[in-house]
A and B are shown apart, each in its own frame.
Chain A
Amino acid sequence: MTALALDGVRIALGDRALVDGLDLTIDAGRCVTLMGPSGCGKSTLLAFVAGFIDPAFEARGRVRVGDDDVTACPPQRRRIGILFQDDLLFPHLTVGGNLAFALHERVRDREERRARVEAALREADLAGFASRHPATLSGGQRARVALMRTLLAEPRALLLDEPFGKLDAPLRDEVRRFVFDHALERALPILLVTHDEADALAAGGPVLRFGAAGPLHG
């Protein structure tokens, strides 16, 4: 069981601190929600954790997954999965191709890979969709494929960057339940960023609020 931990994180743009002295530990199978208005720096914090932070920001502090300090690692070595507001399925690959792209390379055999992709699709109630193109799927179907894709890469932690923001209200509940059920079933620590109170409620864990007034403290 691995936990995701942030130690003494400070993120500043020029002399304006967005996050200051943040310490946070998210245990396996738990979800912490970060809330705040847009532009407050919550997505920047996720980018810092994932390893994509824009060099314009000045960032300090450490990111650990279990006992593994990944602060100095490039994104591809961190094994931290991320879901964005858009599903970002690769339009040049089929649904199955998208999933196979993510599936860990340890699975070498082609038949076995195909079986794993099929199994992931069944889990998402999309059996038989492997040869479809992402553009032919509905919004909810695409969101489910995007989550399965992230999970197939076997991440050790999951970051959710307002992943339900663009879905219609009824669909949002369904996708939200799907994401939390599957991620928590795998006992992943989850860091969720949102400005929707309902997301925080569904996540069920502690909520940290970014204020408009000052930087986020731990």
Chain B
Amino acid sequence: MRTGRLFAAAPVVTVATFALPIAAGFVGTLAPAFGYLPAIGGHEFSLSPWRELVAWPGFASSVRLTLVTGVAATLISALFAFGFCAWAAGRAWGPRAAAWLAPILATPHSAFAIGLAFVIAPSGWIVRALSPWLTGFDVPPDVATIGDPSGAALVLGMVVKEAPYLVLMTTAALAQVRANEHLAVARSMGYGPTEAWVRVVLPQVWPQVRLPFLAVLAYSLSVVDVALILGPSNPPTLAVLAVRWFGDPDLRLWFPAAAAASLQLVIVAASIGAWIALERMIARAGRRIVEAGRRASTLSTLSSLAAAGVAIIGALAVAAMTGMAIWSVASQWRFPSAWPGAFAFDNWSRRIADIASPAANTIVVAAIATLCALALAVACLEAEERRRRAGPPPALALLYLPLLVPQVAFLFGAQVLLVRAGLDGAVAAVVWAHLIYVLPYLFLSLADPWRALDPRYARTAASLGASEWRVLFAVKLPILVRPVAIACAVAFAVSVGLYLPTLFAGNGLVPTLTTEAVTLSAGADRRIIGAWALMQALVPLAAYLAAVLVPGRRPAR
């Protein structure tokens, strides 16, 4: 086949790789939600799964908890992120401060949640540091700082991860608008730096930050692993409830579980819809405020507070990681000591046999998923250049769908399909489930540098007689080696952190660092959890480090 036609097929193949299975997964979840799943005796459609779900005693609290924690985590993350960016814009070293947040992105959500639990638990580092000299505690206080019924710890756990994500997405978008010059104009007209940023820069970067923001909203509303570790357990959030019922030995619970998963989808879709309506109202009100020309405001105080909030997030992240590392080599660490009484470095050598196989699974799955995603993304980007009309094909927008739909809503149905195909528990099934999430992130990361490459390099090579393949492998990829490496590291990190897709597609037969760490977090010894969570954090960090060390090639000017 000619290369041109091969690339032209790429977007179709890419979208089909996951759009069709996702659609099938939805059907596979919706059918049992309405009582139909012949394999376990559901032969007729009915509303009884929904009745069962609604009749469950904790139902209303669970829905409320889901909405409150999801919306709170999203809004707090966004306020912190935008406040920080506004604050940083007026300062010379602000952009460098943002770069320090990048490692937080590489670390899986669940590793952070576990580390954070070490820090904020009643027997955690913060209480230890203050005890007994200040608090008088000789035993950990009997208060729920983790798994509190209000979900505050869950919100904190999400904000620690999502606020830095939004900071980095906003910083990346800033490069595409003339932020500094527009700020200078606004300031020469009498606006303070924060007032100017909110009026002039934020509305310009928002179109590019909207998708990441909505992804944070969808993810915060439906997160499972962080909610298992830091969220309340009775009633839990809706997504956790669905997963718990799916995992129950009593298969009849699959019906209300499917209903809960479907309701989760409705909640996310309604929240996204509500936000889009609200966004229009905010834009209209914002325009009126901007045109009123008021200079004085209290925004600069708010942005300083947000910057302080981001600094605290950074400190919590460092404390979480350090805490895990120390626990993993502690032999004795009694309350209220702030430091272990004795170390045991053989903790690791005794545990290495347990960790080795899940670590190998993690790396193999992440590596294969990343390479597949890279091939598909490059093929799609090449196809884009060969299209007569400008821009990516509209169908490629479907690529971002996985970031906006709750995992639990289609993974259950997908698992049912995999079981029928006899593929459940196969490494291939896990790789495919990971590819769904790895591909959008890799594509998002690679698309801008790829599209920005000066087309004259390829034209020059072609006019020298190089074939299309040679142009790709000998010219484009070598020039873009650094963005490619970074996109791969992002993809690798995403794969390492995936919990639910691994659990469902692997049917528990392909344990990874993340699935094991989340399972152990429920009750195992902190010295063991520490080792697992630390490994879970170090594997993607190593990939990042490797990507950063790839020598970049700057086009000559």
Residues of A within 8 A of B (CB): 50-52, 54-55, 74-82, 84, 86, 88, 90-93, 96-97, 100-105, 107, 110, 113, 149-150, 153, 155
Chain B neighbourhood of A155, CB < 8 A: 188
A50 & B184 in contact (Cβ 8 Å cutoff): yes
Chain B neighbourhood of A84, CB < 8 A: 181, 184-185
Chain A neighbourhood of B189, CB < 8 A: 76, 81, 101-102, 149-150, 153
B294 & A97 in contact (Cβ 8 Å cutoff): no
A76 & B178 in contact (Cβ 8 Å cutoff): no
New contact pairs (19) apart from A102-B189, A150-B189, CB-CB < 8 Å: A74-B187, A75-B188, A76-B190, A76-B192, A80-B188, A82-B184, A82-B185, A82-B188, A84-B185, A86-B178, A90-B200, A90-B204, A100-B291, A100-B292, A101-B291, A101-B293, A105-B293, A105-B294, A107-B293
Chain B 141-181 interface mask (CB, 8 Å, partner A; 1/0): 00000000000000000000000000000000000001001
Can you list 13 residue pairs at the A/B interface with Cβ under 8 Å?
A50-B184, A52-B187, A54-B92, A74-B192, A76-B191, A76-B193, A81-B189, A84-B184, A91-B204, A92-B203, A92-B204, A110-B292, A113-B292
B190 & A88 in contact (Cβ 8 Å cutoff): no
A101 & B290 in contact (Cβ 8 Å cutoff): yes
Interface SS majority for chain B: helix
B387 within 8 A of A: no
B293 & A88 in contact (Cβ 8 Å cutoff): no
Of all A-B residue pairs in the complex, the 5 with the closest CB atoms, nearest first, are A100-B291, A153-B189, A75-B187, A92-B203, A105-B293
User: If A153-B188, A153-B189, A153-B190 touch, does A103 touch B293 (CB 8 Å cutoff)?
Assistant: yes
User: If A86-B181, A91-B204 touch, does A100 touch B187 (CB 8 Å cutoff)?
Assistant: no
Q: Which B residues, 190 to 212, have Cβ-Cβ distances below 8 Å to chain A? A: 190-193, 196, 199-200, 203-204
What's the minimum C-beta distance from B207 to chain A, rounded to whole angstroms?
9
Q: Which of A51, A55, A113 contacts B291 (CB 8 A)?
A: A113
A79 & B290 in contact (Cβ 8 Å cutoff): no
Chain A neighbourhood of B188, CB < 8 A: 50-51, 75-76, 78, 80-82, 150, 153, 155
Q: Closest A residue to B202 by CB, please name it.
A: A92
B182 within 8 A of A: yes
B451 within 8 A of A: no
B181 & A88 in contact (Cβ 8 Å cutoff): yes
Chain A neighbourhood of B292, CB < 8 A: 100, 105, 110, 113
Chain A neighbourhood of B293, CB < 8 A: 100-105, 107, 113
What's the minimum C-beta distance from A122 to chain B, rounded to whole angstroms?
18
What's the minimum C-beta distance from B185 to chain A, rounded to whole angstroms?
5
A55 & B92 in contact (Cβ 8 Å cutoff): yes
A97 & B290 in contact (Cβ 8 Å cutoff): yes
User: If A79-B190, A153-B188 touch, does A97 touch B287 (CB 8 Å cutoff)?
Assistant: yes
Chain A neighbourhood of B190, CB < 8 A: 76-77, 79, 104, 153
Interface size for B (C-beta < 8 A) is 27
Residues of B within 8 A of A (CB): 92, 178, 181-182, 184-193, 196, 199-200, 203-204, 287, 290-296
Chain A neighbourhood of B92, CB < 8 A: 54-55
A88 & B185 in contact (Cβ 8 Å cutoff): yes
Cα A104 to Cα B190 in complex, Å, equals 9
B181 & A75 in contact (Cβ 8 Å cutoff): no
Q: Closest A residue to B288 by CB, please name it.
A: A110
B295 & A76 in contact (Cβ 8 Å cutoff): yes
Q: Which of B184, B191, B204 contacts A52 (CB 8 A)?
A: B184
Chain A neighbourhood of B296, CB < 8 A: 105
Cα A103 to Cα B204 in complex, Å, equals 21
Cα A75 to Cα B189 in complex, Å, equals 8
Cα A65 to Cα B545 in complex, Å, equals 52
What's the minimum C-beta distance from B133 to chain A, rounded to whole angstroms?
43
A88 & B187 in contact (Cβ 8 Å cutoff): no
B184 & A75 in contact (Cβ 8 Å cutoff): yes
Chain B neighbourhood of A75, CB < 8 A: 184, 187-188
Chain B neighbourhood of A102, CB < 8 A: 189, 293
Cα A187 to Cα B39 in complex, Å, equals 87
Cα A104 to Cα B293 in complex, Å, equals 6
Cα A76 to Cα B194 in complex, Å, equals 11
Q: In the complex, which of the residues A90, A104, A150 has the most CB atoms of chain B within 10 Å of its own CB atom?
A: A90
Cα A150 to Cα B188 in complex, Å, equals 9
What's the minimum C-beta distance from A6 to chain B, rounded to whole angstroms?
17
Q: Closest B residue to A108 by CB, please name it.
A: B292
Cα A125 to Cα B59 in complex, Å, equals 65
Cα A132 to Cα B295 in complex, Å, equals 25
Q: Closest A residue to B204 by CB, please name it.
A: A92
What's the minimum C-beta distance from A48 to chain B, rounded to whole angstroms?
13
Chain A neighbourhood of B200, CB < 8 A: 90
What's the minimum C-beta distance from B421 to chain A, rounded to whole angstroms?
50
Chain B neighbourhood of A103, CB < 8 A: 293
What's the minimum C-beta distance from B471 to chain A, rounded to whole angstroms?
35
Q: In the complex, which of the residues A51, A52, A107 has the most CB atoms of chain B within 10 Å of its own CB atom?
A: A52
Chain B neighbourhood of A80, CB < 8 A: 188
Cα A102 to Cα B193 in complex, Å, equals 15
Chain A neighbourhood of B290, CB < 8 A: 93, 97, 100-101
